[in-house]
Amino acid sequence: MSDVSTITTDEPASSPGWLRAIWVVVPFVILGLAIAWLISTDPLSSFRNGAPPVENLTFERTILGPDGIRTLVRAGGSEPMTIAQVQVDDAYWQFRQEPAGTIARGDTAWISLTYPWVLGEAHTIRIITNTGVTFDHLIEVAVPTPTRDTMSLTSQAILGAFVGLLPVAIGLMFYPALRGVGRNGMDFLLSLTVGLLAFLLVDAFAEALELSTQAAALFQGPTMVVLAAVSSFLLLMAAGRRHGVPTGLALATFIALGIGLHNLGEGLAIGAAFASGAAGLGTFLVLGFTLHNITEGIGIAAPILKKRPPLWSFAALTLLAGGPAVVGLWIGSLAYAPQWSALALAIGAGAILQVVVEVISLQLRQNAGVARSLLTPAAMAGLACGVGFMYVTAMLVKI
């Protein structure tokens, strides 16, 4: 006869729903009461020594047109601020502010000036607040800002297609020629994909950090970039592995998505550079962008070389990877702000990191999980060619 022992576990008794709801509401009530007390009694008044509030103003967008200059500014100080005077090239000018009055922390306002700017010359705008603090903005080369007319948008769409859609399509055209490669050839192509994506990852992250320093301080630029990149990576990893490890067309789609997000951020920066006159639109520069992006199409094709995807999927992959360049150019030239470009590039960097992880995972699976397969001559040559090609062609487009 055996003894039967019963193991019991102590579990907390479940509280009624209404009681749990009360314990959710109570902390918020206490917080609200504390804030109300702080505002009504102002216990910090004894710490004030008469110093003016900290003021910060960021120039987010400048529009040059036939009627003068318009600039969008964002306040980031500790208190609402008031713009008292505006100078252009050391001369005071009458200005119109929309909306008028003080600018609260985080809010924006348009400053309009009927200033006769000169094509091709540099101009300096200086904003003076009612406390005497000044904020300067340099227009390096004065050129008319693109307008929302059909011809301008069409021209930008053609440019975006040339630097985004065309090179990806050309790269995917190598698909039939690459289908017969052996194991060493596949190792080379997959490592080539990792190499070009690794370059895009570093390039996108560095550019996002650089742009984030131009944004208003309240956006906490570098922190925003890191959080956006990590969040993008984790979300795409979760989505990609929801139904198992992505392979074939699914992996090619994720590669196209990562490249597309990167091209969106680049399109924003290019459109803003052209609109502000920071870059001249030369044929050599456009051809450089095209050549720089051709390898992206080969990288998208690598995971589907052993498959026979439908013809429409190649058009869809091209549109997914290259189409965002068109959208980026439109937005960048018409409604640019540095924080949004930095955010787009950071999200793209996270997406590219997810693709790098998945491509390396595919490489390991095709070689029975042997890690040293990543160090074979074919794999190392592909990695070096991917990084090297992207680095050399990037010299043609850095402005």
User: Tell me, what's the pLDDT at 373?
Assistant: 66
Query: The dihedral of CA 92, 94, 95, 101: what is its sign?
Result: positive
Reduced to 3 states, what is the DSSP secondary structure of residue 111? strand
pLDDT, mean over the chain? 80
User: Tell me, what's the pLDDT at 9?
Assistant: 52
User: Tell me, what's the pLDDT at 285?
Assistant: 60
Which are the contacts of 371, defined by CB distance < 8 A and separation ≥ 6? 364
pLDDT means per 10 residues, the chain with 399 residues, are 50 67 84 83 66 78 87 84 90 90 88 89 90 88 72 75 84 79 77 84 86 81 89 84 76 84 78 62 62 78 80 89 85 75 84 82 70 76 85 72
pLDDT in tens, 174-215: 788 777 777 777 778 778 888 888 888 888 888 888 888 888
pLDDT in tens, 295-305: 778 788 877 87
**Residue ranges of domains in the chain, CATH in brackets:** 57-139 (2.60.40), 150-394 (no CATH)
- Kindly state the tokens that stand for 303: 């995971």
Residue type, 367: N
- List alpha helices for the chain, DSSP H: 17-41, 150-160, 166-172, 175-178, 183-212, 221-240, 248-276, 283-301, 311-334, 338-366, 377-394
Sheet strand arrangement including 95-98: 57-65, 68-75, 108-113, 95-98
